[in-house]
Amino acid sequence: MTLEKGSLILVDYTARVKDTNEVFETTREEEAKKTDHYDATRKYEPRLVSVGEAWVLKGLDEALAAANVGDKLNVEVTPDKGFGERDPNKVRMIPQRKLGEKADEVSVGDIVEFEDRTGIIRYVGSGRVQVDFNHRLAGKTLVYEADVTKRLDSDSDKVTALVKRRTGIEDSKLKFNLSGANLEIELPEETFLAEGLQVIKRAVANDIFKFIPAVKNLKFVENYSAPEPEKKEDKPAEKKEG
Model pTM above 0.75 = yes
Q: What is the DSSP letter of 4?
A: P
Residues 41 and 158 in one domain: no
Residue range 61-85: average pLDDT?
96
Backbone angles phi, psi at 10, to 5 degrees: -110, 130
In a domain, 191, yes or no: yes
Query: What residues make up the domain containing 141?
Result: 1-85+137-152
In this structure, the answer to whether residues 59 and 142 fall within a common structural domain is: yes
Q: Does 45 fall in a domain?
A: yes
What CATH number corresponds to the domain at position 94?
2.40.10
Q: What is the mean pLDDT of residues 100-108?
A: 88
- Domain count for the chain: 3
Find the CATH number of the domain harbouring 71.
Answer: 3.10.50.40
- 168-225 residue pLDDT tens: 888 888 999 999 999 999 988 888 888 899 999 999 999 999 999 999 999 999 888 7
**DSSP-assigned states of every residue in 40-103:** TTSPP-PEEEETTTTSS-HHHHHHHHT--TT-EEEEEE-GGGTT----GGGEEEEEGGGG-TTG
Residue 164 belongs to domain with CATH number: 3.30.70.2210
User: 221 and 163 share a domain?
Assistant: yes
How deeply is 13 buried, as exposed, middle or buried, from its count of CB atoms within 10 A (0-12, 13-18, 19+)?
A: buried
Q: Give 240's pLDDT tier (boundaries 50, 70, 90).
A: low
Q: What is the DSSP string of 128-171?
A: EEEEE-S-TTTT--EEEEEEEEEE--SHHHHHHHHHHHHH---G
Is 62 inside a domain boundary?
A: yes
Check residue 1 and give its pLDDT: 60
Q: What pLDDT does residue 241 have? A: 59
At residue 110 the predicted structure's pLDDT band, cuts being 50, 70 and 90, is very high
